[in-house]
A and B are shown apart, each in its own frame.
Chain A
Amino acid sequence: MSEKRKSRFILCFTLLLAALIVLLVLNVMIGSAGLSLSEVLRILSTGKGENAAIVWNIRMPRLLTAALLGGALAVSGFLLQTFFGNPIAGPFVLGISSSAKLVVALTMIFSLARGIAVSSLSMIVAAFAGSMLSMGAILLVSRRLKSMSLLIVCGIMIGYICSAVTDIVVTFANDSNIVNLHNWSLGSFSGMKWSGVGTAAVTVLATLVLTFFLSKPMGAYQMGESYAQNMGVNIRLFRIALILLSSILSACVTAFAGPISFVGIAVPHLMKMLLKSAKPIVMIPASFLGGGIFCLFCDLIARTLFAPTELSISSVTAVFGVPVVISMLLSRQKKKEAA
């Protein structure tokens, strides 16, 4: 690796870390009760203060969730893009988030009707099962269809079907918790408890470590399947690992925050532009940091812009994510025409 590139990587990661810290602090300070920086620091260091409850029980779990799940979503998107060799593949576009949402909704309604509380772990399991359902469907289709655009269209269709069924189920569910269910099905980081944060953190970070160790074969896979095989990558095993890891990551997000759009496509693209490299070994940590930053930023807007009314996180991520995706597609087209 040339020195120039190395120093670029160091600079980028420094910037990302700085941005992450700034946004974390802003997320603690800003809200219906505005806190000064010194107050925040005092509460964080001593655990005491007038607004300690707000900081510890509401804002901290929420912002940690946003950072963790945003990162998970971006990494999941990067894995799917590598897998399909397509820059607009992502858990939301391929319908994976929506089918996870459907299975989670069904699980919640079913359990609530019987008076069983749904644990965060079982939510993840349900979301994972849902992810695997649509992932399986997508993989079946991708065997027949060589065209990537058709594959994406299929994913979007699967997403619509799942969303429609979820809406129907939610409409007819007669439970007092329906309001929560409704909010969740639109996507939100609100109402996170520390126990949930713990579960999410363990799942996401463990998966992230495994993913990081997949960066070597991923780098080979970017040269194409045949070359990867020639370099000694066990393609079948690698593909299974990639699918499982990306599904766990996006399932975790859907279980806690509902479906969140465009983070999985926009963030990896922005990171590639920033790093001027697509090497998995730098892209995986960068996507994680970038996804965290992006979601912290969007969540801040979602809860403060029209306070006390909260926007769904997905509408904010879409507003900021879609322009990025469109500009990426346009620049790709331009490049293709130039070549």
Chain B
Amino acid sequence: MDSAILRTQGLNVGYNGQTVIAGADFTAETGRILVLIGPNGAGKSTILKTVIRQLPPVSGGVYLSGEDIARLRAKDIAKSVSAVLTGRPNPELMTCEDVVATGRYPYTGRLGILTASDHEVVRSAMELVRVTELAERDFDRISDGQRQRVLLARAICQEPKLLVMDEPTSFLDIRHKLDFLHLLRQLVQERELAIVLSLHELDLAQRFADTVLCVRDGRVDRVGPPEEIFQGDYIDRLYEVEHGSYDTLLGCVETESQPGTPEVFVIGGGGSGIPVYRFLRRRGIPFAAGVLPENDIDLPVARALAAQVITDRAFEPVGREAADRALKVLRRCRAVVCAAQGFGTMTAENRRLREAAEAAGTLLAPEALEML
């Protein structure tokens, strides 16, 4: 018996016999969320369309609970696979409840009239995604966040074993993105189903995916748990990021560094330096940062943005040798900003940097940054 709901074998997908993505082999399992990531136009939607049989595979097969979908009847597929697609449906004079109820389509009779038990399924799906109060509202008069939830309720009504979604969070603000993904997490845990979706938000993919599938250059580049995918500079390579970098550890984006001779020296540490680094980068002022222990939270951002970073070993007090190196750089800068709120045992040497700046008259209060 096949444990996976969805399995693809030797799958090449594309249009009119032309392969767009080769070797799209993966599985989706009940209770798990599989997230497709990759650059725009890489072919994430093409894979998803093939999985829900809106596009025939160029070669290879898609197997639903072990059966080739090419051989299944449309109605049977509809009973086990449902979708939330890109593009906004624009039905006329339909309430949200009407839209959700269309999910019952594969189960109703010839005229599509809903029975009491169908109504019960509709009601419970709307309750689950918390859109019950929208039931009587016009579908074309609700917000984007509400619309996605209503479409999700519609998909749930189809009682699928596999739920496929193409960039469902694209038009949502950050609160609604989080809400939506939490809902999906709740859904895979409460109902026996597998979820496959594409996302543009890498930070969210990293946090909500059980498995990440990376699409790049006409192939599926990697498949694995987020811990494996979000490592080193893989994401930068996947998206061919040129002007900046993606921090795989923290899941945030930084622009590229400002090259040149440092004009400002930032004494940071423990996160205090990050806003200053970003400010200086925006202004296009090359800067140096230090001295940062190798495990400091400031370090990834400093590395991404600073012209020069002075570091020292982790878990050890900042050493005299590193501080001397920093001092050399600091003396050549026209200004020094001390972002650190204070100094302790580990950063005692950094206090020396501040004192040197004070003596040279180049020390600037963080509030005075605007004047640079």
Question: Residues of A at under 8 Å CB distance from B?
Answer: 1-2, 85, 87, 213, 215-216, 219-220, 222-224, 226-227, 229-234, 272, 276-279, 281, 339
Which chain B residues border A230 with CB–CB below 8 Å?
52, 54, 78, 81-83, 85, 158
Does B284 have its Cβ within 8 Å of any Cβ on chain A? no
With contacts A226-B54, A231-B158, A276-B93 taken as known, whether A220 is within 8 angstroms of B74 at the C-beta atoms is no
Does B71 make an interface contact (CB < 8 A)? no
- Check if A231 sits within 8 Å of B103, measured CB to CB: yes
Cα–Cα distance between A219 and B94 once the two chains are bound (Å): 10
Contacts of B99 in A (CB 8 A): 223
Instruction: List the A side residues contacting B54 at CB < 8 Å.
Output: 226, 229-230
- A232: chain B residues at CB < 8 Å are 73-79, 105-106
Q: Are A231 and B102 in contact (CB under 8 A)?
A: yes
A338 → B minimal CB distance (Å): 9
- Size bin of chain B's contact surface: 35 or more
Interface assignment of B108: CB less than 8 Å from any CB of chain A: yes
Q: Bound complex: CA of A232 vs CA of B52, how far in Å?
A: 11
In the assembly, what is the distance between CA of A276 and CA of B136, in Å? Answer: 13
The 10 closest A-B pairs by CB, nearest first: A232-B78, A216-B112, A231-B105, A278-B92, A232-B75, A232-B74, A278-B93, A224-B89, A230-B83, A222-B91
B140 at the A interface (CB under 8 A): yes
Q: Once the chains bind, are B93 and A281 in contact (CB under 8 Å)? A: no
Across the interface, which residues of B come within 8 angstroms of A278, CB to CB?
A: 91-94
Known: A220-B102, A231-B78, A231-B105. A339 touches B141 (CB 8 A): yes
CA distance A230 to B108 in the complex (A): 15
Tell me, in angstroms, the Cα distance from A234 to B73 when the chains sit together.
Answer: 10
Among residues of A, the one whose C-beta sits closest to the C-beta of B109 is A216
Q: Does B111 contact A (CB under 8 A)?
A: yes
The docked-state distance in angstroms from the alpha carbon of A279 to that of B348 is 75
Question: Which residues of B, 304-336, contact A by the 8 Å Cβ criterion?
Answer: none
Known: A215-B111, A223-B102, A231-B158. 10 other contacts (CB 8 A): A1-B114, A2-B136, A222-B92, A222-B94, A224-B87, A231-B102, A232-B105, A272-B92, A276-B93, A339-B141
- B135 → chain A closest CB, angstroms: 9
Q: Is B110 an interface residue (CB 8 A)?
A: yes
Distance of B52 from chain A, by nearest CB (Å): 6
Chain B residues near A226 (CB-CB < 8 A): 54, 83, 85, 87
Give the Cβ gap from B50 to chain A, nearest Cβ, in Å.
Answer: 13
Q: Is the beta-carbon distance between A220 and B105 smaller than 8 angstroms? A: yes
Q: Which chain A residues border B158 with CB–CB below 8 Å?
A: 230-231
Given A226-B85, A230-B52, A272-B112 contact (CB < 8 Å): no
Residue among B76, B112, B141 with the most chain A CB within 10 A? B112
Q: How far is the CB of B151 from chain A (nearest CB, A)?
A: 9
Partner pick for A219 among B74, B85, B102, B110, CB 8 A cutoff: B102
Q: Which residues of A are found within 8 Å of B110, using beta-carbon distances?
A: 213, 216
Residue interface bits B107-141, CB-to-A below 8 A is 1, else 0: 01011111000000000000000000000100011
Kindly state the separation between the CA atoms of A222 and B92 in the bound complex, as whole angstroms.
8
A234 with B74: CB separation less than 8 A: yes
Q: CB-nearest residue of chain A relative to B49?
A: A226
Residue of A216, A233, A277 touching B108 (CB-CB under 8 A)? A216
B93's contact among A220, A227, A231, A277, by CB below 8 Å, is which?
A277
Q: Which residue of B74, B81, B141 contacts A233 across the interface (Cβ within 8 Å)?
A: B74
Using CB atoms, name the residue of chain B closest to A229: B54
Q: A231-B103, A339-B140 are in contact. Are A216 and B93 (CB under 8 A)?
A: no
Inter-subunit contact B111/A281 (CB<8 Å):
yes
Q: With A232-B105, A234-B74, A278-B92 given, is the CB distance from A227 to B85 under 8 Å? A: yes
Chain A residues contacting B90 (CB-CB under 8 Å) are 85, 224
State how many angstroms separate the Cβ of B33 from the closest Cβ of chain A.
19
| CB-based contact B74/A223 at 8 Å | no
